[in-house]
Amino acid sequence: MSGVSGRIAFVQARWHEEIVDRGRVGFAGEIAALDFDDDRVDYFTVPGAFELPLHAQRLAESGRYAAVVCAALVVDGGIYRHEFVVSTVLDGLMRVQLDTGVPVCSVVLAPHQFQGRPEHVEFFGRHFVEKGIEAARACAVTVASLNALQLQPVTGM
């Protein structure tokens, strides 16, 4: 990834880890294909999606990372509205990037229907690989474009 210095943090939830981990695999493969050394990516796990924004915030505020990528699968557990959970998580991740200026890319998905049947696990596993690849590309482009901006402070307003 030309034009990208520093490190990248990849944080993933442990819920449905066998599926979410496929997002990490897709991300790692694509980031390597973009000539970004895997030893410059730090991988973290958290219990669930709800913990992602706080971890992303701490990592972004550390000054160590050029970007943070978060991954989770939020499913309808039948007890609560999973749309509320994913909306809260994504709003939190957006706030982190706006408050810190560090890009936060998302591989947080909330499928309309998910059951733990083998065909769903296989389908969403493949989908997470693709989303991990997309996140790596978005991360690379966003970090490079932000680095290229080299904005000067506005004066005389």
* pLDDT of the residue at 8: 96
* pLDDT of the residue at 39: 87
Mean pLDDT of the residues in the chain = 85
pLDDT higher than 60, residue 4: no
Instruction: Give the span between the Cα atoms of 136 and 2, in whole angstroms.
Output: 13
Percent of all residues in the chain with a pLDDT value above 70, rounded to a whole number: 80
Candidates 111, 19, 115, 9; CA nearest to 52 is 9
pTM above 0.85, yes or no: yes
Instruction: Give the span between the Cα atoms of 30 and 110, in whole angstroms.
Output: 23
Positions marked active-site: 81
Query: Which of 82-86, 125-129, 142-146 is predicted with the least confidence, judged by mean pLDDT?
Result: 82-86
Instruction: Give the span between the Cα atoms of 16 and 127, in whole angstroms.
Output: 14
CB neighbourhood size of 20 (10 A): 24
Average pLDDT of the residues in 81-108: 88
The amino acid occupying position 9 is A
CA angle 114, 56, 141 (to 5 degrees): 85
Residues 40-94 have pLDDT tens digits of 999 999 999 999 999 999 999 999 999 999 999 887 665 666 666 778 889 999 9
